Amino acid sequence: MNMKPVYPADLPGKRLLSLDFMRGLIMVFLVLESTRLYNHLSEASGNGPFQSIIIQFFHQPWHGLRFWDLIQPGFMFIAGTALAYSLHKQQEAGVPWRQSFIKVLKRSWWLFFWGVLDYAVGENGLSFKLWDVLTQLAFTTLVAFLIFNWSARWQIIFSLGLLVLTEALYRFTNIPSFDQPFTDQQNFGNYMDLILMNRINPDGWVAINCIPTACHTIWGALAGKLLFSGRSDKQKVGYLLAGGIIALILGFGLDLSITPIIKRIATSSFVLASGGWCLLGLALFYWWIDIRNHKQHLLFFTVVGMNSLFIYLFIEIVGSRWFNGYINTIAMSLFGSLAIPAILAAILSSLCIFTLEWYLCWFLYKNKIFIKI
């Protein structure tokens, strides 16, 4: 694993600020979630009108789509876009395909390693689990790389083929006790988890989500190739908008009567609908930031986005197991001594944790240290 600092000389001369912002926005949402801020806000809102908003920051229990269900697709989509820029830079520098392949293979290995490690340490000791987003990204990154030099048409056909494969696996394998394609704990994904890990996730997540969600990384890479192409800005935004609208129509159309939108098993309708929102989001940010040149006030997000993998591992491994609890104990004691109501103190404590973690990213950014795998 190469965890060396990366300095500006190693970075592309011209950065796509909308990509940095979108990645940073996703990571800010994830860091805030790790502090349990959304839980505290939900408790504070009770059954009031604010609850209909805050509920969007929690996963849909099963059938349906909420805002929070778009975070992982966005994470994997942007990873594909960043991959496209990296490979484009390598190709311009004359780096052989074999060398790029070895680099991506090593990256995928370390993504897989950290993803397994994240879930491995539990109260009952070590265990082998494949549900972390990094293990998913390890697979999807490798797939997106292997077909990167194909034409856009064949990449789209291949990605749709992955969705057809997913449909077939869930609908036609007919394994006893796991022959209900869209029923929690009784579907093909649950069966594969028994084969791979000898366990089923009680919340319904499945490891083979990496097959359909490879589409997100592939579509992100295609979007990246589009943005560094010679097409006009108007054409680039037009293609992103068209792709996003088509994907949304297909996704929600399937949801009407054929395949329900279920994030936890990444149904084809979910992948299409969430991918559509990712394409529309990139189109909006690219138009607003890189075309219209609205580049003020982005630093708050880009500071986090520039070290996205580092802060993700920090909040998952260090934050959840020690840092958050430590800071929360200190903050709650101080706020309690000031007679601040418990729920308000909990919200303020979460904001304290977030502030410290943001300043950790700021420290790395200020010292031009960008840690990557």
Tell me if 251 sits within 8 A of 287, measured CB to CB. no
Phi then psi for residue 286, to 5 deg, are -65, -45
> Three-state secondary structure along 337-358?
HCCCCHHHHHHHHHHHHHHHHH
Along the 373 residues of the chain, how does pLDDT read in single tens digits? Answer: 443 333 333 334 467 889 989 999 999 999 999 999 999 999 998 888 889 999 999 999 999 999 999 999 999 999 999 999 999 999 989 999 999 999 999 999 999 999 998 888 766 777 888 889 999 999 999 999 999 999 999 999 999 999 999 999 999 998 999 999 999 999 999 999 999 999 999 999 999 999 999 999 999 999 999 998 889 999 999 999 999 999 999 999 999 999 999 999 999 999 999 999 999 999 999 999 999 988 888 899 999 988 888 999 999 889 888 999 999 999 999 998 898 999 999 999 999 999 999 999 999 999 888 887 7
The crossing angle, in degrees rounded to 10, of helices 71-92 and 17-34 is 140
The confidence score (pLDDT) of residue 231 equals 92
The CA radius of gyration of the chain, in Å to the nearest whole number, is 21
CA–CA dist 329, 39 (Å, integer): 17
The confidence score (pLDDT) of residue 123 equals 67
Q: Is residue 3 in some structural domain?
A: no
The confidence score (pLDDT) of residue 83 equals 94
The confidence score (pLDDT) of residue 14 equals 60
Residues 6+ apart with CB under 8 A from 113: 1
The two tokens of residue 154 are 């064949």
State CA 296 to chain mean position distance: 25
The identity of residue 278, as a single letter, is C
Total domains in the chain come to 1
Q: Is residue 250 in some structural domain?
A: yes
Q: Is residue 2 in some structural domain?
A: no
The confidence score (pLDDT) of residue 10 equals 37
Nearest to 266 by CA among 363, 166, 151, 337: 166
Q: Is residue 372 in some structural domain?
A: no
DSSP per residue, 172-215: H--BTTB--TTSTTSSHHHHHHHHHHS---TT---GGGGTTTHH
The confidence score (pLDDT) of residue 7 equals 34
The confidence score (pLDDT) of residue 136 equals 95
| Domain extent at residue 158 | 8-366
Q: Is residue 356 in some structural domain?
A: yes
Residues 6+ apart with CB under 8 A from 231: 239
